[in-house]
Amino acid sequence: MSKNSNGLLIMKWLVSRSWEESRLLWSLAFPVLLAEMFQFSFEFVTTAFVGHLGEVELAAVTVAENILDTFAYGLLFGMGSALNTLIGQAVGAGQLDRLGTYTQQSLILCGAITLALAPAYVFATPILRLFLHQPVDVSRAAGQYARWAIPRLFVHAMDIPLLMFFWAQSRVWTLAAISGVALAVHAMLTYIAVRQLGYGLPGAAVAGDISQWLIVAAQFTYLTGGRFPDTWKGFTMHAFNNIGAFIKLSLGSAVMICLEFWYNTSLLILVGLLKHAKHQLDIMSVW
């Protein structure tokens, strides 16, 4: 066989293997991408409806979502990302039952962080006005929205560990379907609360709370429905064992990820210091 023939066979093999690997990659990556797009679209839907209420309300939601919520979500996601490392080690060692235990440890840790962050939502108005020097009327409206959005903070504490658990086992299409349905419900509830009933910012916040809790409820139903016999054995007190080591690993993970999330937060804070800040914040909400 000639060298040209050998080269052609090798090229065909490389193309075939590349296509196969690409197909496998996209079969996992596409539903994850779809689920993330659905979840990030929640803010877009809320902003679209609140934008009809007025420039102060639009700026307030922008501040609450991109300063308070992004700060909290970045911290929780960073702490929860340590679960990826531990789950990979457990799978490699053949200790599949540890996946459930590690997930519960992450739930405990994220829940504790959420309790520590909740006062920031309660006192959002003075924090935004006195410490971050945001406009007075925007700070007041953002504080009202943030107080009604506190239930959503606890959703983040549960949603992130559950996502890590499902991602590790390639159960991604179910997550995409749950997020898609929840987004449709969110759009309907926000329309009813804001446009039909006229509940304004509290209505928009509560609509978001309900929609986000639907996601977690569906995830827990999927988790405990017997579809993970090897990795989920139910809740156990073993989750409290070695939790100090879990916290230490989570802190290291959080430092890297928080910097990425908090970039946009710092940008919004600086925009709020500009002249005609309400208009600038409104522009940032569209961007």
247-276, pLDDT tens digit by residue? 887 777 777 777 777 766 777 677 666 666
Domain count, the chain: 1
- Measured in residues, the chain has a length of 287
Give SS3 for 197.
coil
Each residue's pLDDT tens digit, 217-258 = 999 999 988 888 888 888 888 878 888 877 887 777 777 777
More confident residue, 196 or 22: 196
The predicted structure's pLDDT at residue 250: 79
Looking at residue 132, what DSSP letter applies? S
Residue 237 DSSP class: G
Residue 6 lies in a domain: no
CA–CA gap between residue 38 and residue 121 (Å, rounded): 25
Q: What angle do CA 145, 147, 150 make, to 5 degrees?
A: 110
Q: What is the mean pLDDT of residues 117-132?
A: 91
Q: Is residue 178 part of a domain?
A: yes
d(C-alpha 266, C-alpha 67), whole Å: 8
Global pTM? 0.84
pLDDT score at 186 = 95
Mean pLDDT (the chain) is: 83
Reduced to 3 states (helix: H, G, I; strand: E, B; else coil), residue 273 is: coil
Distance in angstroms (rounded) separating the CA atoms of residues 158 and 167: 14
Question: Cβ of 35: how many Cβ atoms within 10 Å?
Answer: 24
DSSP type of residue 245: H
Contact between residue 235 and residue 175 where contact means Cβ atoms under 8 Å apart = no
**pLDDT at residue 142 greater than cutoff 80:** yes
Whether 262 is covered by a domain: the verdict is yes
Q: Report if residue 2 sits inside a domain.
A: no
Span 1-18, pLDDT tens digits: 555 666 667 677 777 777
Share of the chain above pLDDT 70, in %: 87
19 falls within a domain:
no
The pair of structure tokens assigned to 75 is 């911290």
Please check the confidence at residue 207 and state whether its pLDDT lies above 90: yes
Dmax (CA) for the chain in angstroms is: 81
Q: Is residue 22 part of a domain?
A: no
Residue 101 one-letter amino acid: T
| 223 falls within a domain | yes
The answer to whether position 114 is within a domain reads: yes
pLDDT at 272: 67
Give me the domain span that covers residue 61: 28-286
Assess whether pLDDT exceeds 70 at residue 32.
yes
CA dist., res. 146 & res. 115, Å (int):
15
